[in-house]
Amino acid sequence: MLFAVLSGFLVALFAPPLCRLLRQWSGWFFALLPLALIVYFAGFIARISSGESIFFSYRWLPALGINLSFNLDGLSLLFVLLITSIGALVFIYSGSYLGRNPELGRFFAYILMFMGSMLGVVLADNAIVLFVFWELTSLSSYFLIGFDHDRAAAREAALQALLVTGLGGLALLAGFLLMGQVGGTLEISRLYAEADPIRSHELYLPILLLILAGAFTKSAQTPFHFWLPNAMEAPAPVSTYLHSATMVKAGIYLLARVSPILAGTPMWEYLITPVGTLTMLVGAYLALVHTDMKRILAYTTVSALGLMVMMLGIEASLSTQAAMVFLLAHAFYKGALFLVAGAVDHETGTRDVEKLGGLFRTMPFVAIAAMLAALSSAGVPPHLGFVGKELIYKVAFGEGGSEFMLGAVFLTNISFVTIAGIVGFRPFVGRRREFPRIPHKPPLALWLGPFVLAALGLVIGAEPGLIENWLIAPATAVIESRPVEYELKLWHGFHSSLLLSVLAFIIGIVLFFGWHKFRKAASYLIPSEKWGPARWYSLLLEGLAATARGSTRMVQSGHLHIYLLIIVCTTIGLVATSLFNQKWSLELWRWSNAYAYELVLAGVIVAATVAVVKAKSLIAAVLSLGVVGYGVALVFLLFSAPDLAMTQFAIESLSVVLLALVLFRLPEIEHYSKTRERVRDALAALALGGVMTVLVLSVTAMQKEARLVSYFAEHSYLDAKGHNIVNVILVDFRGFDTMGEITVLAVAAIGVYSLLKLYLKRNGRQGGNQ
């Protein structure tokens, strides 16, 4: 199981070289991984559909109660199969869509990483594990949106998506931690048993709000919806996979996953349903005013996500069923439509529906896929979209619904019908236009994905029994925490919801033909451009930058010696106060133990230190400093710390090289500072030296009581199989610290590198006059 989850990451490591080897076949090759995963997970279907949950646990940080635990139940299985099957089709598609891109390997590395993270999100049972994978999806989405990193728009959109979903993720972490505190465990499956105490706890509202913040940002609910349309800067397969079929549904998954714990209160319903309804309406409206195919689809995705959230907010098992069926229907038809948009863009060079038309003859399979998917999204029988929509109407008519909800669903339905016409039919029928690129017949890889997805929507819609018992029912049973009676049917007979469907269809068709006029009228009313949440976001970002600039100007003087002074004084303050609060003795009688050569060495070090301070030229100062360093290294050697001594020697030698490289750029020593400043600095330096001397003397005086030395001496060989205690501590006992340290080192190196390169670049532009 762990291997299945991490396989995406493992393959991602080798994606770039594999891509160079396989070229145009890489898409087909990488699709083997999700296909293998489908086979692996399909093996669990029989056990899952009988209501079983399968747990896997690996010890990760047992001391903190965090284990890599995974839980495969009906809900996770539904998502796993969705992620892997759409993943396979998207990989095949990407191999052709980005076939000529030299960075294809990088692309596959990111998207494989994403697939692994997404599997982790839906399989994790431990809340911390879920959070880690959740953030990994945000991170891989950042890389994928910004894949075309030469364009500023792509970089901005990537950052926006990362900030919005990443901040939501932090809220989610806080929510999980609070929930774990109240419930006494971080395992979600065990929290199910603690649902009642959590719901009645005073922290219930903060927990709910924090978790909802995570879900709403990820699933692009109003007012956080703006990042999703901007994320369309990503290549089409990414928009398909992340921003319509899987990642944005992580929020839906989260709501479904925690609903046995948190649902069932008025708060749950009052918070979730209105947000979902509003998002649904906002998305449905904004989809109608745009002309870029992908942007239109992004807004309908926002709308569909709102619809699912709304359904999950209602307390009725029928609404949960409706949400799950619609989720599947939406993944199929919207995935297909996004792939179609990509294929059209790939062949014609434009995605503007105003400029498209008459493409059926060039790309018949793509066109058929587009039309089938569009019919499903318009809710025309016998597509799965119809089954989902009928269930939603039924909920709105039922006891959880209201007239307002019914009206909202009706309006959204009209918008979906119109959009289906605009995206699914308009580009393929009518007069053929002039395109920026002469379209060719798209290859198999480009039409297979949309075609299969659209066909799935049709087949399952015509025979919903195919998925009812082994996919939808177990998922719903998990969310409702009890088995649910299911009766998915295509045809429910004539009743009021069917009448509304037909009416919505007719109005939608009328709107399709009057779309130009509608857009002209509506363009005066686009609120999102000026005062919408996207504007709040940019204001917030600008405000943050301004605050950072202001505080930097206040705190950072830019003078190195001031920084040093602050650091030195703080150290003195902290060490001295804690020293004076303790009992210590210097045991100065140990002077008599000193050997003559030790005293000589000490004398040399002191003399060299004086020479550094008194030096008239930089070279002299550097050399004297080197003497101090080597002297200290000798001290280490004399007191049997060869590891330290070796490291000190190496560091000293390297410092000399580094200084030699920068020295000739620096001006000669001049007396910049006044005498008063020099006295101040000298006092601080002497004080620090004094404090350190006292510290070292008192620490070494305590040596006999120390347990550490004997502990490590005893355990280093038995537990870690090493005789060198220093090394064993570094790589084993305190290995985690070392890992943090090398990461910091790496970050520092990147910082130095980019600062130097930026500096040189700027100077190069100005003619190098410095």
Partner 1 sequence: MKSLILSTATRYLLPLLLLLSVYLLLRGHNMPGGGFVGGLVAAAAFALYTLAQGAADARKVLRINPRTFIALGLLTALSSACLSLFIGLPFMTGLWSKDKVVVIGKAGTPVLFDTGVYMVVLGVVLTIIFSLAED
Asked if 635 touches partner 1 (CB under 8 A), the answer is no
Which of 555, 560, 588, 662 contacts partner 1 by CB under 8 A?
A: 662
Asked if 139 touches partner 1 (CB under 8 A), the answer is no
- Best CA proximity match to 295, nearest among 218, 228, 225, 375: 228
Shortest reach from residue 153's CB to partner 1, in Å: 27
Candidate segments 30-38, 123-131, 311-319, 751-759, binder of partner 1 by CB under 8 A:
751-759
Angle at the Cα of 403 from the Cα atoms of 400 and 407, rounded to 5 degrees: 115
Tell me whether residue 664 or residue 672 sits nearer to partner 1 (CB atom): 664
Candidate segments 254-262, 410-418, 570-578, 649-657, binder of partner 1 by CB under 8 A:
649-657
- Best CA proximity match to 349, nearest among 434, 446, 243: 434
Count CB neighbours of 40 within 10 A: 15
Asked if 193 touches partner 1 (CB under 8 A), the answer is no
Asked if 731 touches partner 1 (CB under 8 A), the answer is yes
Shortest reach from residue 640's CB to partner 1, in Å: 10
Contact 446, 344 (CB under 8 A): no
Helix H or strand E encompassing 513: helix 496-513
Q: Hey, what long-range contacts does 723-726 have (CB within 8 A, 24 or more apart)?
A: 724/643, 726/641, 726/643, 726/644
Asked if 730 touches partner 1 (CB under 8 A), the answer is yes
Asked if 524 touches partner 1 (CB under 8 A), the answer is no
Alpha helices by DSSP H, 146-243: 152-183, 188-191, 195-200, 204-218, 227-230, 236-240
Which of 654, 683, 699, 706 contacts partner 1 by CB under 8 A?
A: 654
Asked if 16 touches partner 1 (CB under 8 A), the answer is no
Shortest reach from residue 109's CB to partner 1, in Å: 12
Annotate 349-387 with b (16+ C-beta within 10 A) or e (fewer).
ebbebeebbebbebbebbbbbbbbbbbbbbbbbbbbbbb
Taking CB under 8 A as the rule, which mask of x and - marks residues 50-69 in contact with partner 1? Answer: --------xxxxx-----x-
SS3 720: helix
Task: Compute the half-sphere exposure of residue 183: CA atoms within 13 Å on the CB side of its CA.
Answer: 27
SS3 411: helix
Which of 602, 650, 669, 706 contacts partner 1 by CB under 8 A?
A: 650
Q: What is the 3-state secondary structure (H, E, C) of 430-457?
A: CCCCCCCCCCCCCCHHHHHHHHHHHHHH
Q: How far is CA 201 from CA 208, 214, 440, in A?
A: 11, 21, 63
Binding residue count for partner 1, defined by CB under 8 A: 49
Which of 197, 682, 745, 762 contacts partner 1 by CB under 8 A?
A: 745
Shortest reach from residue 751's CB to partner 1, in Å: 10
DSSP class per residue in 516-543 = HHHHHHHGGG--TTTTSHHHHHHHHHHH
Shortest reach from residue 189's CB to partner 1, in Å: 19
Which of 588, 657, 666, 718 contacts partner 1 by CB under 8 A?
A: 657
Contact 66, 173 (CB under 8 A): no
Handedness of CA 551, 554, 555, 558 (dihedral sign): positive
Asked if 13 touches partner 1 (CB under 8 A), the answer is yes
Asked if 718 touches partner 1 (CB under 8 A), the answer is no
Place of tokens 């000589």: 600
Burial class (CB in 10 A: 0-12, 13-18, 19+), 194: middle
Distance CA 86, CA 79 (A): 11
Tell me whether residue 444 or residue 750 sits nearer to partner 1 (CB atom): 750
Asked if 663 touches partner 1 (CB under 8 A), the answer is no
Asked if 112 touches partner 1 (CB under 8 A), the answer is no
Asked if 740 touches partner 1 (CB under 8 A), the answer is no
Shortest reach from residue 643's CB to partner 1, in Å: 5
Candidate segments 89-97, 462-470, 490-498, 743-751, binder of partner 1 by CB under 8 A:
743-751
- Best CA proximity match to 475, nearest among 72, 68, 41: 72
Asked if 643 touches partner 1 (CB under 8 A), the answer is yes
Asked if 679 touches partner 1 (CB under 8 A), the answer is no
Question: Does a cis peptide bond (omega within 30 degrees of 0) precede residue 381?
Answer: no
Tell me whether residue 67 or residue 319 sits nearer to partner 1 (CB atom): 67
Q: What is the 3-state secondary structure (H, E, C) of 118-148?
A: HHHHHHECEHHHHHHHHHHHHHHHHHHHCCC
The values of phi and psi at residue 57, to 5°, are -135, 135
Asked if 756 touches partner 1 (CB under 8 A), the answer is yes
Asked if 762 touches partner 1 (CB under 8 A), the answer is no
Shortest reach from residue 3's CB to partner 1, in Å: 7
Candidate segments 314-322, 676-684, 689-697, 715-723, binder of partner 1 by CB under 8 A:
715-723
Candidate segments 206-214, 261-269, 485-493, 749-757, binder of partner 1 by CB under 8 A:
749-757
Asked if 757 touches partner 1 (CB under 8 A), the answer is yes
Place of tokens 């609903």: 259
Asked if 612 touches partner 1 (CB under 8 A), the answer is no
| Non-local CB neighbours of 673 within 8 Å, separated by 6+ positions | 561, 681
Tell me whether residue 62 or residue 493 sits nearer to partner 1 (CB atom): 62
Q: What is the token pair recorded at 536?
A: 């709040």
Which of 545, 594, 752, 762 contacts partner 1 by CB under 8 A?
A: 752
Asked if 720 touches partner 1 (CB under 8 A), the answer is yes
Footprint of partner 1 on residues 205-234 (CB under 8 A)? none
Footprint of partner 1 on residues 456-515 (CB under 8 A)? none
Shortest reach from residue 729's CB to partner 1, in Å: 10
Binding site for partner 1 (CB under 8 A): 2-3, 13, 58-62, 68, 642-643, 646-647, 650-651, 653-654, 657-658, 660-662, 720-724, 726-728, 730-732, 735-736, 738-739, 742-743, 745-746, 748-750, 752-753, 756-757, 760
